[in-house]
Amino acid sequence: SVTAKPVHGVIVEVGRTLTATDIQGSYRLNNLLPGEYEIIVRHGLYKEKSAKIRILGQKLQNFTLDTIF
């Protein structure tokens, strides 16, 4: 978020795989094969964001979310 605080309940989508962030703003997507993906994050109080990522092994992807108001 713009306050740099973790956001709980953000939906994280890669292909047909969905998860949500926990209370600490963390998420995990398991069983993604190596390759290029578009990752999309959304939450009702923030603007949707997306990014292209390449998975070669474990990958850390952080986002800063902007409020919609």
28: left (phi over 0), alpha (psi -120 to 50) or beta: beta
- The pairing of beta strand 17-20 with beta strand 11-14: antiparallel
**% of residues, the chain, pLDDT over 70:** 88
Query: For residue 21, is pLDDT > 80?
Result: yes
Average pLDDT, the chain: 85
Q: In what order do the strands lie in the sheet with 35-43?
A: 17-20, 11-14, 35-43, 46-55
**Confidence (pLDDT) at 53:** 85
- Cα Rg, the chain, nearest whole Å: 12
**Confidence (pLDDT) at 65:** 73
pLDDT band at 68 (very low <50, low <70, confident <90, very high): low
pLDDT band at 54 (very low <50, low <70, confident <90, very high): confident
